[in-house]
Amino acid sequence: MQLAKPARRSAQRSTINTSDENAASTIALNITALTRLTRAALPAFLSRNAGAIINIASVMALHSLPITSLYSGTKGYVVNFSRGLQEELAGTGVRLQLVLPAATATEFYEFAGMPLSAFDPAVVMTAEDMVDAALAGFDQGEAITLPSVHDRGLWET
């Protein structure tokens, strides 16, 4: 619950117009907290040669929009940090899954000034569907999971 509170303060604004406080909050949540939590779990997992970490990035890590450059940049860090760590963990018995969801129906969008009603409903998934898709990918051994919408053609344009 504590980790969700900083996310609510991360209103989406252009990087040029965002406050230093908003930028620091976004970086603290998406980079610093994720890195610290991942590193805190690793010693115990490595000592028993077993464990799993699931890091959540975003498809926005792969394609930034004008008002999402800061957010997308931090999610790009999650992608590169996770991919590199997957290489480091090879052969250790510790798995790291990277999840890149698309638009997920949470209060984040309303707070960020981007109401979900502005999105095509075909590209928005519920948080429950995102988690189910991520866990299904994990169970199938996927290193990277892109929980997706039902219409594959939406991603091929």
Q: What is the DSSP string of 41-84?
A: HHHHHHHTT-EEEEEE--GGGTS--GGGHHHHHHHHHHHHHHHH
**Per-residue pLDDT at 85 exceeds 70:** yes
Q: Which is the catalytic residue, given 42, 67, 68, 71?
A: 71
DSSP state of 104: E
Query: In degrees rounded to 5, what are phi and psi of residue 112?
Result: -80, 0
- What are the structural domains of the chain? 4-155 (3.40.50.720)
What pLDDT score does 39 carry? 97
Based on the residue annotation, tell me whether 109 is a catalytic residue of this protein. Answer: no
Return the amino acid letter for 20. D
Tens of pLDDT, residue by residue over 109-131, are: 666 667 777 777 777 888 888 89
Is-contact 79 61, C-beta < 8 A? yes
Tens of pLDDT, residue by residue over 132-146, are: 999 999 999 999 998
Q: Under DSSP, is residue 86 helix (H, G, I), strand (E, B) or coil?
A: helix
